[in-house]
Amino acid sequence: MVTNKKSGQASVKRLQRCRVTSSTAVLVLLWRRQLCALAHSLRAEGDPDFITFSAIHSESDHFPVGVDRSHSAADALQRKDAERRALEQRWYSAALIAARNLLEKYT
């Protein structure tokens, strides 16, 4: 249940700045982090649209990012990057639909 809809609306409006770009990584991996945190703050983890991003988060939290990438071997990064791209393609449509649904609910 959403306990603070006004706070949720403000948070989701910030997410409206996320634009669909040619890189699905920007959409899928950025939104999954932000929306999982938002679901928790709204106590809306059971919302099917937030569950989409929770599932994406579960499947992608092992990918090396930031400083972790500098500690990985080049061949390992190539394998992980290929795996990440496949995950992004698999979840792209569902993530876009879920994000639009959340914007409709909270804006």
Q: Could you state, in order of their start, the residue ranges of all structural domains in the chain? A: 5-106
Burial of 90 (0-12, 13-18, 19+ CB in 10 A): middle
Can you give the length of the chain in residues?
107
pLDDT at 106 over 90: no
pLDDT at 25 over 80: no
- The residue-averaged pLDDT of 6-18 equals 57
pTM: 0.70
pLDDT tens for residues 30-55? 677 777 888 888 888 899 988 998 89
Query: What is the structure's pLDDT at 74?
Result: 95
Percent of the chain with pLDDT over 70: 71
